[in-house]
Amino acid sequence: MSIVRAALDVPLPTLFDYTVADGIAVAIGQRVIVPFGRRQMVGVVVETAAASEMTPERVKPVRQVLHDSLPLSAELLDLLRFCSDYYRYPIGQTVLSALPGRLRSDKPVIGRPALSYRLTASVMALDLESFPKRKVVQRRILARLAEGPCNLAQLRSLSATAGAQLKMLMEEEWVESFPEVLIPSTGSGRTANSIQKHSFDNAHTLTGEQQQAVDAVAQASGYACFLLHGVTGSGKTEVYVHLMHQVLQQSGQVLLLVPEINLTPQLENYFRSRFPDVNFISLHSGLGENERLHNWQQAQSGAAQIVLGTRLAVFAEMPGLALIVVDEEHDGSFKQQDGLRYSARDVAIFRASQRGVPIVLGSATPSLESYHNAQSRRYRMLRLTGRALAEARLPTVRCININQTVMHHGISENLLREIGQRIERREQSLLFINRRGYAPVLMCTGCGWLSGCKHCAGKMVLHLNDRRLRCHHCGYQVRVPHACPDCGNADLHPVGSGTQRVESVLQERFPEARILRVDRDSTRSKRAWQSMREQIHANEVDILVGTQMLAKGHDFPALTLVGVLNPDGALYSSDFRAAEKLFAQLAQVAGRAGRADKPGEVLIQTAFPDHPLFRALQAHDFDGWAASQLAERQMAGFPPFVFQAMLRAEGKNEAEAYAFLNQARAAAVELRHAVEVFGVVPAALSRRASHTRAQLLVQGAKRKDMQQFLRAWQPLLDALPAQKLRWSLDVDPLEF
């Protein structure tokens, strides 16, 4: 009998020993079905051993070895071990959470064959001009297949409805499918598909700065981390495209990480148009279980040459990985806020180092951590200082002092006047307000009652369209009351503005204007955002009203005016990163204006027009702003000059939550490590979903000191009584 150690999806920081009968081969990284208590579970074999420290009768046998998928590589398992250790999360849950849902199930995976499509023999010689012209998408598909076979992913780059149209063509026997022949990857990650030459649409001539950036990365030998700091509209994507082209010529795979699921479809279409015959897949939470498994296996076999995904894609198995790109690297969405609380950007950097390949972090407003690393030469700085289009200029930024102008329900007369001028010129305007709903709160004018949530410390937001008060923290909602619950006064007023209220004010002022609201409420359906984006590009919209969904990565040529409403709250936040986030957000949303040949203008409504943050935005001076922020951080002892970990606890009983954290603090102090342990404090939202929330911050001057402390502290935390609590350890926290 040999012993294997398996990772299981259980909250225990250990591997579990099982026996394997002689004659049964089990590879490291292979999935197995094993008994655990009274149930059976899927595990991943991480180690083998000659003997177990447990008594023989306690070591149970592996029930089944699953051969329905390729084993995980030693490289990926090493990456997951690092994440488990660094982020102090159980090894089994770390390994299993990195896999597609189908591979975590004990049901056998029946892989669907990868299909390609071609014209049927009967229509190969047919003149496509005879095909009905009204069937535009079907004509595009036939024209593409006339050039040679391709898969569904490549056909989808022609149109979002390609799947349905292809089905009709197959029913009418114009097109037929056949299985792709994929050769499993060798150690180099090369496959039958990946060593074929690819078409490259070299549509854009690189600017001098872009060419320098491409050359710097291409000439890197082994691991190197580059920070591509380019102003909005400077053509960072074009740099990515040319780097991908060079990697694909060498038969390598590329991993491109983006922060938002909303950015994947447009980037997918763009890269497919530039690499029409490259096998390109996406990995994100919007995919169905079967599609995600299929795409993950394409990456694992080496058949997928470009993998585009959100943060979880950083764990995609890629045997031929030769380049990693993290777009909008500063974005907080790369940090997972539950379960394994990892930063996909930081894990990507470790993975590039582990693999010995270059990684490019791209942003117009780099995180201060990355910027500091570039300044101290841990990363190499690459700059794009001008917009890629010669005729495009950075937008003019002006501040409107709301204390000295006429306001109409939160919108200044100056801004309304500018919007009217854009409508006359058939140009688009964007009003950015980072709060959905009609108004942040409903107030009684008689007694001062506010629409608080009975389960949270926050307020319920008024949603006028469906006459509801809704809590955006826990989801609790009630109908809007006819009178004040406290004093019976019927005079209830909305206070502040949300996207819905801004939309109604604009409809009243510009009744003929075509207004589109883009927020989480208006984009709930699967194709809603794609349809909206098509409307914007077709110039079928005059005014956009939106939240941060519109702030990054989008290119709207007709958009020339951006109005920013209510940005002042972040200027005096208790979160030391609030100003950094606000600058990035405003710089990103400002960058949507004037990206083509028409000049752009940004109007920021504020009560503090002379604030240094707004001055820096007006001068497009990120370097000056970053330098002042870093000086403040260093003086105050904040990251990136220290390293932090946050212990959070929540429970229905306030005393129990605070008792747990105080015991944890006492244990931390007794360890006498080179870290600073702060006091227990309420969380920023001290009560959510009827649970009291509190936290304890620890910080150290060196990453090594922090890691040594956490390794010693974790077992003590596990031993504390916490039956009625939820607690978590967050290493390098972003939320306070």
pLDDT at 625: 95
Rounded mean pLDDT, 142-162? 76
pLDDT at 255: 97
Least confident of 11-25, 147-161, 493-507, 530-544: 147-161
Confidence of residue 392 (pLDDT cuts 50, 70, 90): low
Least confident of 432-436, 573-577, 615-619: 432-436
SS (H, E, C) 313-349: HHHCCCCCEEEEEEECCCCHHHECCCCCCCEHHHHHH
- What DSSP string describes 174-227? SEEEEE---PPP-TT---TTTTS-------SPPPHHHHHHHHHHHT--S-EEEE
Q: Give the separation between CA 267 and CA 273, rounded to whole angstroms.
A: 10
- 15: number of Cβ within 10 Å: 20
Least confident of 99-113, 368-382, 457-471: 99-113
Task: Specify whether the CB–CB gap between 63 and 35 falls below 8 A.
Answer: yes
Convert the pLDDT of each residue in 254-274 to its tens digit.
999 999 877 777 788 888 888
Which residues, in sequence order, are CB contacts of 392 under 8 Å at separation 6+?
A: 233, 594, 595, 596, 597
Which residues, in sequence order, are CB contacts of 398 under 8 Å at separation 6+?
A: 601, 602, 603, 604, 618
State the Cα angle at 398 between 396 and 403, rounded to 5°.
170
Relative to beta strand 492-495, strand 477-479 is: unpaired
Q: Report whether CATH 3.30.70.600 matches the domain 643-731.
A: yes
Convert the pLDDT of each residue in 512-554 to its tens digit.
999 998 887 777 766 777 788 888 888 899 999 988 777 766 6
- Are domains 396-439+496-632 and 643-731 of this chain identical in fold? no
Confidence of residue 278 (pLDDT cuts 50, 70, 90): confident
Q: What is the mean pLDDT of the chain?
A: 88
Rounded mean pLDDT, 455-477? 89
566/388: higher pLDDT = 566
- What DSSP string describes 624-681? HHHHHHHHHHHHHT-TTSSEEEEEEEEES-HHHHHHHHHHHHHHHHHH--SSEEEEEE
Position 112 pLDDT exceeds 50: yes
Confidence of residue 595 (pLDDT cuts 50, 70, 90): low
Determine if the pTM surpasses 0.75. Answer: yes
Rounded mean pLDDT, 208-227? 95
Q: Give the separation between CA 309 and CA 492, rounded to whole angstroms.
A: 46
pLDDT at 193: 41
Task: Specify whether the CB–CB gap between 331 and 285 falls below 8 A.
Answer: no
Task: Specify whether the CB–CB gap between 558 and 427 falls below 8 A.
Answer: yes
Give the CATH fold of the 208-384 domain: Rossmann fold (3.40.50)
Position 186 pLDDT exceeds 50: no
Give the CATH fold of the 396-439+496-632 domain: Rossmann fold (3.40.50)
Give the CATH fold of the 2-104 domain: GIY-YIG endonuclease (3.40.1440)
Convert the pLDDT of each residue in 53-77 to its tens digit.
888 888 999 999 988 888 999 999 9
Position 481 pLDDT exceeds 80: yes
Where does 74-195 show beta strands of DSSP type E?
Answer: 115-119, 150-151, 175-179
Position 181 pLDDT exceeds 50: no
Name the most confidently modeled range: 342-356, 441-455, 495-509.
Answer: 342-356
pLDDT at 166: 87
State the Cα angle at 443 between 442 and 448, rounded to 5°.
155
User: pLDDT > 70: what percent of the chain?
Assistant: 92
Task: Specify whether the CB–CB gap between 163 and 527 falls below 8 A.
Answer: no
Rounded mean pLDDT, 267-282? 85
pLDDT at 16: 95
In order of 300, 614, 660, the CA distances from 253 in angstroms are: 11, 42, 47
Rounded mean pLDDT, 437-446? 83
Rounded mean pLDDT, 725-736? 93
Position 182 pLDDT exceeds 60: no
- 170: number of Cβ within 10 Å: 14
Residue 453: HSE in the Cβ half-sphere, 13 Å Cα cutoff:
26
User: Where do we find the tokens 């001055």?
Assistant: 615
Position 7 pLDDT exceeds 50: yes
pLDDT at 126: 62
pLDDT at 128: 66
Position 148 pLDDT exceeds 80: no
Task: Specify whether the CB–CB gap between 506 and 409 falls below 8 A.
Answer: no
Position 608 pLDDT exceeds 80: yes
Rounded mean pLDDT, 703-721? 95
234/193: higher pLDDT = 234
pLDDT at 184: 37
Burial of 404 (0-12, 13-18, 19+ CB in 10 A): exposed
109/231: higher pLDDT = 231
pLDDT at 263: 73
User: Where do we find the tokens 């939470």?
Assistant: 285
Rounded mean pLDDT, 658-667? 97
Name the most confidently modeled range: 164-178, 297-311, 349-363, 433-447.
Answer: 349-363
Residue whose C-alpha is closest to residue 234's, from 390, 428, 430: 390
Residues present in the chain in total: 736
> Domain coordinates of the chain in residue numbers?
2-104, 115-179, 208-384, 396-439+496-632, 643-731
224: β partners: 358
Least confident of 101-110, 222-231, 300-309, 653-662: 101-110
pLDDT at 160: 67
Q: Give the separation between CA 664 and CA 327, rounded to whole angstroms.
A: 38
